[in-house]
Amino acid sequence: MRQDGAAERRLIDNILEGMALRSAGFIVTVYGDVVVPRGGVLWTGTLIEVCDRVGISESLVRTAVSRLVAAHRLRGERMGRRSYYRLDASAQREFDQAAGLLYRPEVPPQGWQILYAPDLGEDEARRQRMGHMGGAVFVRPDRGQPVPEGALLFRAADPSELEGLGRFWDLSSLHQRYRDLLARFAPLAKAAATLSDEMALIARLLLVHDYRGVLLRDPRLPQAALPPDWKGQEARALFRSLYRQLTPAAERWIGTHFEGSEGFLSAQTTETEARLNDLSGVSA
């Protein structure tokens, strides 16, 4: 049985409470989750409409889009009186990396990278999710990442070596964010099947946005280096389950309401089907 509009709105409002949603970040989520795997182009009017559903005004959308264009994240084009925006080529690699973390199976670390990196600042270390061991020495799980320019790399042979490396990361704030995400979205597990197509899409976008914000800061340490009550795995399981539940209805809305430069976007594409297969653990 479908929920009535007021009940759906309360559910979405409860999810939004405490999220501190920012317009530019949410627009990036819309493009990464919906637009990029469907050709990459979206009419501004559609973007304004979907942002309005989460309380982001038209003026904030236009300001955020202008800033994303200036930052070479989006690129605009006009057709008649309409404006469309696509992902800028310079941002494609970043989007691909984020999509890999969100939708593809987890890649277990093959050991540790210990780096001597005298030119690596704290901000860049955090961006690359490194632990600071002191001085110019940093550490991170070895998943084959490229070595930063000017750094020297040493490897430990096995993930179980160098016990206690987890102390070089402050995991407390990440852990709390995972707890908050679980509390925010757990009620959705019971209601997902009863949502309208539109609200299923909005709920999925908020789920992706919130989880992406934590996951991109998570160093994804091996189990032995994590606190015993770590909630990251539970949050990932909830994300995968909810995303699959919400997708059929969300895709119906996308296929009838999201406009690109050549008409409505496809409800499904090869790439969106591959994402679902990965989240379901189905081999291609």
pLDDT of residue 242: 96
For 87-112, write each residue's pLDDT tens digit. 888 788 888 888 999 999 988 888 88
Residue by residue, what is the 3-state secondary structure of the chain? CCCCHHHHHHHHHHHHCCCCCCHHHHHHHHHHHHHHHHCCEEEHHHHHHHHHCCCCCHHHHHHHHHHHHHCCCEEEEEECCEEEEEECHHHHHHHHHHHHHHHCCCCCCCCEEEEECCCCCHHHHHHCCCEEEECCEEEEECCCCCCCCCCEEEEECCCCCCCCHHHHCCCHHHHHHHHHHHHHHCCHHHHHHHCCHHHHHHHHHHHHHHHHHHHCCCCCCCHHHCCCCCCHHHHHHHHHHHHHHHHHHHHHHHHHHCEECCEECCCCCHHHHHHHHHHHCCCC
CATH of the domain at 100: 1.10.10.10
201 and 98 assigned to the same domain: yes
Classify residue 37: in a domain, yes or no.
yes
pLDDT of residue 284: 44
78 and 212 assigned to the same domain: yes
pTM: 0.92
**Which of 65-69, 86-90, 135-139, 140-144 is predicted least confidently?**
86-90
Q: Using pLDDT thresholds of 50, 70 and 90, give the confidence band for residue 37.
A: very high
Classify residue 227: in a domain, yes or no.
yes
Classify residue 164: in a domain, yes or no.
no
- Per the structure, the count of domains in the chain is 2
225 and 85 assigned to the same domain: yes
Counting residues of the chain whose pLDDT is more than 90, the rounded percentage is 61
Classify residue 16: in a domain, yes or no.
yes
